[in-house]
């Protein structure tokens, strides 16, 4: 039961992310962002030491989630014949890695940023999910993911979680 619910909870976002990754539209957006970043950094050297912008946080989060989805899909393919305990351990490790990575990304943002706050909340819920895999179907975990996506959409970064 746990195996099926957790697999379903993460398979749907994985499929959506895989399908949206096939589109070519995202390639032009980061190029535009990158061309703007050097001009801003060259005009103000102290700004380079400052916290990352919301757009940069969201871009890092997007990259992190794409890698998570890829790793999750590969892990699921590798452990389809595994015992439930082996599957739970593998999924728990993946969730822990995701929580750690999202925490690291959030730590580089502004403390008063909505994006930073939503990433911190998502990280906390992912940590809970890693400790108790039944909580991955929890509304709080899903709401935290949706809030992070919504905050990133506000700054122009589309993420399919």
CB 62 within 8 Å of CB 115: no
Domain ranges of the chain: 2-18+53-154
CA atoms within a 13 Å half-sphere pointing along the CA-CB vector of 143: 5
Distance from C-alpha of 155 to C-alpha of 16, rounded to nearest angstrom? 21
Q: What pLDDT is stored for residue 35 in this prediction?
A: 45
Helix/strand/coil for 156: coil
Please give the full DSSP string across 13-33, using - where no structure is assigned.
Answer: HHHHHHHHHT-SHHHHHHHHH
Neighbours of 101 (CB within 10 A): 19
Range list of β-strands (E), the chain: none
Q: What pLDDT is stored for residue 19 in this prediction?
A: 32
| 53 closest CA partner among 33, 31, 26 | 33
Token pair listed for 51 = 């916290």
Q: What pLDDT is stored for residue 50 in this prediction?
A: 73
Q: What pLDDT is stored for residue 51 in this prediction?
A: 86
> Cα-flanking dihedrals φ and ψ of residue 124, to 5°?
-60, -45
Walking along the chain (161 residues) 10 residues at a time, the average pLDDT comes out as 49 39 41 45 48 94 94 87 88 92 95 95 91 74 93 93 65
Q: What pLDDT is stored for residue 136 in this prediction?
A: 53
Q: What is the distance, to the nearest Å, from the Cα of residue 69 to the centroid of all Cα atoms in its chain?
A: 9
Q: What pLDDT is stored for residue 152 in this prediction?
A: 96
Residue 79 CB-density burial (10 A; 0-12 exposed, 13-18 middle, 19+ buried): middle
Predicted confidence (pLDDT) per residue in 90-130, tens digit: 988 999 999 999 999 999 999 999 999 999 999 999 998 88
Q: What pLDDT is stored for residue 141 in this prediction?
A: 87
């Amino acid at each position: 039961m746990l195996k099926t619910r957790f697999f379903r909870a993460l398979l749907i976002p994985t499929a959506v992310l895989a399908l949206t990754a096939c589109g070519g539209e995202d390639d032009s957006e980061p190029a535009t962002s990158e061309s703007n970043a050097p001009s801003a950094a060259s005009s103000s050297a102290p700004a380079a030491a400052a916290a990352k912008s919301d757009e940069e946080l969201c871009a890092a989060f997007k990259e992190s989630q794409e890698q998570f989805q890829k790793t999750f899909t590969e892990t699921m393919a590798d452990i389809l014949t595994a015992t439930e305990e082996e599957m739970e351990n593998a999924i728990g490790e993946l969730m822990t890695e995701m929580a750690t990575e999202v925490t690291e990304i959030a730590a580089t943002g502004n403390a008063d940023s909505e994006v930073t706050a939503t990433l911190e909340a998502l990280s906390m819920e992912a940590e809970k999910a890693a400790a108790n895999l039944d909580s991955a179907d929890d509304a709080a975990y899903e709401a935290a993911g949706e809030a992070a996506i919504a905050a990133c959409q506000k700054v122009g970064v589309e993420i399919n979680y």
